[in-house]
């Protein structure tokens, strides 16, 4: 069930309002997403081109449309931030290596240990990867969500990391 839902989410994010951190314009067959990664104990951003690329779906309900598998997943959560003022999630590491889908609202991530890394700003329809788990980054990143934002977190299965191409820095807008 979750796997089917995730496929549906990617189809919706990619073709209905894909925004800042989810882009397919680097090449039109690859899903490019900003990834928050830990390198040498510091959180930073990379742009990942998920592999294998999009294919034409043969699944009922999506036949003939571009389709991409997100890979092995383990559980998932749906978070609703309270309406009202912005919610500062503080400095933290990603609790799991995971996909993060922003369903409504807006988020801003900054990297206090990496001042050369620009903030990531993403809104409804964005899909990002969070990989700066404990042990890869000493203090992690800081996220501020607009009040009322709704986010879905989909941890990778143990030991799984999506195959990808890497471009240094966040994905182009």
Token readout for 78 is 């749906």
Q: Which region among 14-18, 31-35, 62-66, 117-121 has the lowest average model confidence (pLDDT)?
A: 14-18
The radius of gyration of the chain from alpha carbons, rounded to an integer in Å, stands at 15
Assigned CATH for 2-167: 2.60.120
**pTM of the complete model:** 0.84
Instruction: Tell me which residue of 7, 41, 53, 63 sits closest to 132, measured CA to CA.
Output: 41
Query: Domain boundaries in the chain?
Result: 2-167
CA dihedral 63, 65, 70, 73 (to 10 degrees): -30
Cα separation values, 4 from 10, 59, 68, 75, 159, Å: 10, 10, 11, 13, 21
Instruction: Tell me which residue of 100, 109, 98, 4 sits closest to 60, measured CA to CA.
Output: 4
Q: Which region among 14-28, 110-124, 129-143 has the lowest average model confidence (pLDDT)?
A: 14-28
* Helix and strand element counts for the chain (H, E): 1, 14
Rounded CA separation 103/86 (Å) = 16
Q: Which region among 5-14, 37-46, 86-95, 159-168 has the lowest average model confidence (pLDDT)?
A: 5-14
pLDDT digits (tens, 9 = 90+) for 60-114: 999 999 999 999 999 999 999 999 999 999 999 999 999 999 999 999 999 999 9
3: which residues sit within 8 A by CB, 6+ positions away?
70, 73
Residues above pLDDT 90, as percent of the chain: 79
In which element (H, E) is residue 35 found? strand 31-39
């Amino acid at each position: 069930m979750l796997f089917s839902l995730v496929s549906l989410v990617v189809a919706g994010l990619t073709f209905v309002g894909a925004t800042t951190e989810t882009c397919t314009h680097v090449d039109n067959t690859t899903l490019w997403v900003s990834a928050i990664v830990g390198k040498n104990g510091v959180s930073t951003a990379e742009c990942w081109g998920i592999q294998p690329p999009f294919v034409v779906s043969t699944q009922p309900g999506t036949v003939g449309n571009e389709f991409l598998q997100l890979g092995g997943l383990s559980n998932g959560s749906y978070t609703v931030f309270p309406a009202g003022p912005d919610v500062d999630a503080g400095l933290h590491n990603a609790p799991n290596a995971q996909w993060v889908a922003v369903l409504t609202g807006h988020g801003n991530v900054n990297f206090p240990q990496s001042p050369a890394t620009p903030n990531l700003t993403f809104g409804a329809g964005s899909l990002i990867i969070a990989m700066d788990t404990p042990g890869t980054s000493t203090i992690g990143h800081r996220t501020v969500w607009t009040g009322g934002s709704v986010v879905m977190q989909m941890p990778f299965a143990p030991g799984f990391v999506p195959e990808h191409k890497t471009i240094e820095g966040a994905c182009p807008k």
